[in-house]
Structure 1
Amino acid sequence: MPDANTKCFQKVTHVIFDNDGTLMDSEKIYGNALKKVVAKYGHDFNHDMQINCMGRKSISIAALLINMFKLPLTELEFVQQYEEEALKMLSNVPLMPGVDELLRHLYDQHIPMAIATSSSSESLRIKSYPHRNLLSVMHHVVCGDDPQLKRSKPAPDIFLLAASRFKPQPKPECCLVFEDSPAGMRAGLAAGMQVVMIPEPHVPKELREGATLVLPSMECFQPELFGLPYIDCSPKFSFG
């Protein structure tokens, strides 16, 4: 349990997870796919560009990079090339450190959980297959191609939609968001939720500002800081 000097945050009852870079180690795959697409047209794709793309829907990424590099592609053509490259590498994506333990713990403690990801439902299906039991602990999943989703991150829509599908529906301030991207962090905060950010090391400090809590890994998360049940030393369980 935290001692008297440990900071505690507002109590929550529900948890919403981003997927790419948060639950699954897939951001590198998407970065490599984007790098391959823009390289076909003589351009380089660097870390700063990847940070700008993290958390966004494919069509939003396409618009951003087409404009940046003046690519001779429509947005749909770019998305097709990008997704073809990514799908080649998505069949064996590992989970991020600490995910198994935390999800098992929250599920055992009957904490409602959901996934809110900008990825398409087909992409998530492929990525999650090696970890298919992972989805069984979630109350529901909201993907970027959900027909009720109007705007992508950094707009708050995806997290508000995810919260609305819990039964009974919690207030936004009762939801805790886990995110790795600056866009996702801003989306969670705009939704009126607390956000635990677990960024890639190359994400600059200024793009982490505003997060409720910044951690190097999900392994470092202490649920009791948000009023969630304390994790004991139970044996680890794998969803793989």
Structure 2
Amino acid sequence: MLSGMKGAIFDLDGVIVDTAKYHYLAWRSLAERLGFEFTEAHNERLKGVSRVESLRILLEVGGVEATEEERLEMADTKNKEYINYISQLDPSEILPGAKEYLELLRSQGVKIALGSASKNAEFILSRLSITDLFDAVIDGTKVSKAKPDPEVFLAASAALQLNPLDCVVFEDAEAGVQAGKAAGSKVVGIGSPDILKEADIVIAGLYELLAQ
């Protein structure tokens, strides 16, 4: 499956770098200001979904009603706090084996794209000093439909000028795995086989692929 791929499309959070912890801290801080607790278990529901949908889930958890204007303000407040966290990112926070695997794929002539819901993806890649390892970056500023809709992966395949059938998606979230499959690509799940049941294979991290 991996030996024949022409393109590789990577999610960002949980695959290349663990910024999910910073998302959680920012969402938890917002919940505290709104007067309720937002736990790590609640946060699992936010994996792979857009900022707007994440806020909807958070408000649902807290039983909080808000106008559209209030929601926009909340989302903006959360994002500013999140950006404060990721402004401290450096290459040491790249997940084990991720940079090495990207470099290996490039040496083999595989085209590489990022396919992420994050609207801060390009900033994060620059902080990690790995922007030049990607041929295309498709993020939340370029697509409107959240995973499990396949839009982000279809757009990434198109940006690489490849058929989605010739691409492999690397994802750590259930919604992302479903999006990759819906796009017609093979999917490597990164995380728990119990959660990522629909992936073609599941690994603990990209470092596992360096030994193959």
- Normalised by the size of structure 2, how large is the TM-score? 0.89
* C-alpha displacement of 1:12: 1.8
Equivalent of 1:34 in 7, 24, 27 = 27
| Contact residue 38 and residue 58 of structure 2 kept, 8 A | no
Equivalent residue, structure 2, for 1:53: 46
Classify the secondary structure of the residue corresponding to 1:104: helix
Q: Distance in 2 between matches of 1:164 and 1:46?
A: 38
Equivalent residue, structure 2, for 1:163: 157
Classify the secondary structure of the residue corresponding to 2:114: strand
Higher helix share: 2
Q: Does 1:70 align with 2:63?
A: yes
| Contact residue 51 and residue 181 of structure 1 kept, 8 A | no
Q: Does 1:44 align with 2:32?
A: no
Classify the secondary structure of the residue corresponding to 2:28: helix
Q: Distance in 1 between matches of 2:73 and 2:94?
A: 30
| Contact residue 2 and residue 168 of structure 2 kept, 8 A | no
Note the 1:110-121 alignment, pairs <5 A: 110-120=109-119
* C-alpha displacement of 1:72: 4.5
Q: Does 1:191 align with 2:202?
A: no
Query: Structure 1 regions of 5+ residues with no counterpart?
Result: 1-7, 225-240
- Normalised by the size of structure 1, how large is the TM-score? 0.79
After superposition, the C-alpha distances for 1:127-169 in whole angstroms (9 at most, x for unaligned) are: 223323x1112111011121xx231111111001110111xx3
After superposition, the C-alpha distances for 1:152-196 in whole angstroms (9 at most, x for unaligned) are: 111111001110111xx3221211011111111111111111111
Aligned residue pairs total 206
Question: Percent identity of the aligned residues?
Answer: 25
* C-alpha displacement of 1:60: 1.4
Q: Which amino acid aligns with 2:131?
A: L
Query: Structure 2 regions of 5+ residues with no counterpart?
Result: none
Equivalent residue, structure 2, for 1:151: 145
| Contact residue 51 and residue 182 of structure 1 kept, 8 A | no
| Contact residue 66 and residue 75 of structure 1 kept, 8 A | no
Q: Distance in 1 between matches of 2:41 and 2:209?
A: 27
Note the 1:199-218 alignment, pairs <5 A: 199=191, 206-218=194-206
Q: Which amino acid aligns with 2:54?
A: I
Change in Cα spacing, 1:9 to 1:131, as seen in structure 2 (3 Å) is closer
| Contact residue 116 and residue 142 of structure 1 kept, 8 A | yes
* C-alpha displacement of 1:9: 6.6
Q: CA RMSD in A?
A: 1.9
Classify the secondary structure of the residue corresponding to 1:197: strand
